[in-house]
Amino acid sequence: DVKVTQSSRYLVKRTGEKVFLECVQDMDHENMFWYRQDPGLGLRLIYFSYDVKMKEKGDIPEGYSVSREKKERFSLILESASTNQTSMYLCASSPYRVTEAFFGQGTRLTVV
């Protein structure tokens, strides 16, 4: 059974903290993605990676960075958390050609 696992379901962090969200996939997929979901705004792409150490900005990369040191792991980093980064964060992986993509269970991040 295919699996994308996000390290936490719920997180509460303080403003200004550096936050790490981890995502691991076991399908040997080349592509990995980070999205955030907010009411009325759908799924917005933050960053994606199509290979180890490769990354591409999505629609809303400001305030975020990513790391992909190994094929199976893609980390999202909030350099200095702010309250407007309170959101549901979703990680996904797909084959090189995106004919299907699988999501993790999501991380609900609250920044106070």
Per CB under 8 A, residues contacting other proteins are: 4, 30-31, 33, 35, 40-45, 48, 50-51, 54, 56, 58, 88, 90, 92, 94, 96-106, 108
Report the distance separating Cα 9 and Cα 45, nearest Å: 19
Q: How far is the CB of 87 from other proteins (least distance, A)?
A: 13
Q: How far is the CB of 112 from other proteins (least distance, A)?
A: 19
89 in Cβ contact with 10 (< 8 Å): no
Nearest to 20 by CA among 10, 33, 7: 7
Nearest to 51 by CA among 34, 35, 28: 28
Q: Is the Cβ of residue 49 or residue 80 nearer to other proteins in the bound state?
A: 49
Q: Is the Cβ of residue 90 or residue 111 nearer to other proteins in the bound state?
A: 90
Q: How far is the CB of 48 from other proteins (least distance, A)?
A: 5
Q: Is the Cβ of residue 77 or residue 103 nearer to other proteins in the bound state?
A: 103
Q: How far is the CB of 16 from other proteins (least distance, A)?
A: 27
Residue with tokens 């990354």: 55
Residue with tokens 């305030």: 63
Q: Is the Cβ of residue 48 or residue 75 nearer to other proteins in the bound state?
A: 48
111 in Cβ contact with 82 (< 8 Å): yes
